[in-house]
Amino acid sequence: MNISKSYDFKEVEAFELGYAPFGRPLMTTYFYIIDEIIIDTAQSNMRKYFIEIINGRKINKCLLTHFHEDHSGNASILKKLKKISIYGRKLTMQKLKYN
């Protein structure tokens, strides 16, 4: 069972994604879009839903809070599709091999 929900907080859009091979997901992850900036990219096993959400949106920067897969799992596809820069702390960039 997958979860894909969105929440509108005026200037901030929040998206909740979660995956489980059966039953409800034990964990979900959030990512946010503020203006043309996306914060985190959710887990890679929810890539299909992530791409559906970002398609048609103008996004020019990505900020990763940290390198864990549930927050950075779609950073590479985002970079490829939107041709944007990815930002984060030095350790995050090293772990993900972004310079």
Task: Delimit the domains of the chain by residue range.
Answer: 2-96
Over residues 29-57, the pLDDT tens digits come to 999 999 999 999 999 999 999 999 999 99
User: CA triplet 76, 70, 82: central angle to 5 degrees?
Assistant: 25
13: tokens are 């859009």
The 8-class DSSP code of residue 71 comes to H
33 by DSSP, 3-state: which?
strand
- Looking at domain 2-96, its CATH architecture is 4-Layer Sandwich (3.60)
Query: Roughly how many angstroms between the first and final C-alpha of the chain, as a whole number?
Result: 36
What pTM was computed for the model? 0.91
**Letter string b/e over residues 19-31, b meaning 16 or more CB atoms within 10 A of that residue's CB:** beeeeebeebbbb
Confidence band of 92 (pLDDT split at 50, 70, 90)? very high
